[in-house]
């Protein structure tokens, strides 16, 4: 796949690497969600509750202000590209299962 490396490298030109790494923390949840939609896998409710809490913590941490005073979480090309990279990574993991 070319999507994850391309989008993440484009994103890291606009956001700090530590912020990008935080966003990539959403990859396990995105993969589980996509696998559920594609393969009709059924997970127990407690899995989704814990996954949502964990992903919520990742998002909350990403929304915090960065150390330099600027908001790293503002909707920007870098953040959108990194979210696209997360989606591309999830697609790659799910496609590898086929």
> How far is 74 from 51, CA to CA, in rounded Å?
24
pLDDT in tens, 45-83: 999 999 999 999 988 887 775 454 455 456 789 989 999
The whole-model pTM stands at 0.84
User: CA 4 → CA 21, 26, 36, 38, 69, distances in Å?
Assistant: 13, 13, 21, 20, 29
- Could you state, in order of their start, the residue ranges of all structural domains in the chain? 3-97
């Amino acid at each position: 796949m070319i999507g994850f490396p391309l989008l993440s490298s484009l994103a890291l030109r606009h956001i700090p690497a530590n912020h990008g790494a935080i966003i990539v923390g959403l990859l396990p949840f995105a993969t589980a969600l996509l696998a559920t939609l594609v393969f009709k896998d059924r997970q127990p409710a407690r899995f989704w509750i814990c996954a949502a809490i964990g992903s919520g913590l990742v998002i909350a941490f990403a929304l915090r202000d960065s150390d330099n005073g600027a908001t790293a979480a503002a909707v920007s090309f870098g953040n959108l590209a990194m979210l696209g990279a997360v989606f591309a990574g999830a697609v790659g993991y799910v496609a590898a299962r086929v």
